[in-house]
Structure 1
Amino acid sequence: MDRIVGYIASSLDGFIAAPGDDLDWLFRYDGMYLGAHDYNIFLKRIRTVVMGRGTYDFLEIDPSPWAYGQQRVIVVTSQPIKAPKDTLEIRSDADELISELRSLQDGDVWMLGGGQLQMAFLKRDALDELEIYVMPNLLGGGTALFPATGLRANAQLISAQALDRGCVRLHYAFKLTSTGG
């Protein structure tokens, strides 16, 4: 069984996007040195990318080239995507998807994007590890890293590391013992 992992950046005050889904604060860190934790190194071990509809819609309007041509891409949504930006699959049942992902043995699965889908997987004990890159910015509002869902869970710290430009990498494993949600 391959791991289901998260890899995400957050502001110091816990937001992944400023109001209006603005990521300009994060783009200022393009080119930041992350060493062995660099995004391109991370992406090489990923065989399947799973994202929610909001993340897909954000990427769809981005003029950058599609970055996931080497991976299988799954969008979790109940609505059809009329003209996909690239080859992708659509799933609407999270439980069936998790069962399918747990049977894979070709590389890790990345939960790309915001916290809603990650929380849905956490509630089902289906997020194995999470890397959070905390940037030294206070956004004062926006999209929370983890939306309030009532889920209470414990994570085990694997490592914490100071990186370039004041970024801190936090790496956690989840062996959930949920207490609510």
Structure 2
Amino acid sequence: MSSQRKLISFIATSLDGYIATKNESLDWLFKVEGEDDNGYSEFYETVDTIIMGRKTYDWILNQETEDFPYNKECFVFSRSVNGENKNVKFVNEDIVNFTNKLKNEEGKNIWIVGGGELLHPFIKEKLVDEIILTVAPTLIGTGISLFKEDNYQLELSLKGTRRFNQFVELHYEVQK
């Protein structure tokens, strides 16, 4: 295993860059014909740690009728909740220090789960190593954007593409 773990964003988006509608619906995503799980299981095996934001964590709890969907070490960035429960550890630390500490530990890759609100500071601080974007052939016109508008620039290099029926996966490496 490499001494430096990678922080990877693995997410689906509409063709116009939205990850959900304004009311947080993903119905548009499930209308698209994919192939098996569109590479999710394969990707999930490459990570042993998950980072997510509190909004995403709360959304998952509201949507899931069964058990918490992740059986990996899971950290939730939150300004208001501390401690841990059976599923996650809540974090209210400096993003850069916390992430660099995780990246230097032994293990597999780290998956950043969530949208633009969480992803933004990780991108701005150049902590993200790879972005795997699965694009749905759908325009939803308005919604929750994957990337927040700000004054930053990130150079990417295309590592590969894959097709899962109507979805296209774009795999980028962040140039540092």
TM exceeds 0.5? yes
TM-score computed with the length of structure 2 as normaliser: 0.88
Could you tell me how far 1:114 is from its partner in structure 2? 0.6
Q: Write out the 4+ residue segments of structure 1 that deviate beyond 4 Å after TM superposition.
A: 81-84
Provide the residue aligned with 1:179 in structure 2. none
Residue by residue over 1:110-152, the C-alpha shift from the partner in whole angstroms, topping out at 9 and shown as x without a partner, is 0001122222111112100010000000101000010112211
TM superposition shift of 1:163: 2.6
Match for residue 164 of structure 2?
A: 163
Equivalence for 1:110: 111
Q: How does 1:5-154 map to 2 (within 5 A)?
A: 5-29=8-32, 32-33=34-35, 38-62=39-63, 63-69=65-71, 71-80=72-81, 84=85, 86-92=86-92, 93-154=94-155
Q: Using the alignment, how far apart are the partners of 1:57 and 1:81 within structure 2?
A: 15
**Partners of 1:132 and 1:66 in 2: how far apart?**
23
Distance in structure 2 (CA, Å) of the matches to 1:128 and 1:157 = 12
Q: Which has the higher helix share?
A: 1
**1:8-43 residue CA offsets vs partner (Å, 9 max, x unmatched):** 00001110001211111112348x2168x6211211
Deviation at 1:81, TM superposition (A): 6.3
- SS of the aligned residue for 2:141 comes to coil
Counterpart Cα distance in 1 of 2:151 and 2:12: 22
Please give the alpha-carbon distance, in whole angstroms, between the structure 2 residues aligned to 1:123 and 1:83. 27
1:67-120 residue CA offsets vs partner (Å, 9 max, x unmatched): 112x10000111116995x42111122122112212122111000011222221
**Alpha-carbon distance in 2 for matches of 1:45, 1:29:** 25
Which stretch has the larger CA shift, 153-162 or 130-139?
Answer: 153-162
Amino acid across the alignment from 1:19: K
Gaps of 5+ in 2: none
TM-score (norm 1): 0.86
Is 1:125–1:175's contact at 8 Å kept on the other side of the alignment? no
> SS in structure 2 opposite 1:25?
helix
Answer whether contact 2:83 2:89 (CA < 8 A) is retained: no
Gaps spanning 5+ residues in structure 1: where?
177-181
SS of residue paired to 2:44: helix
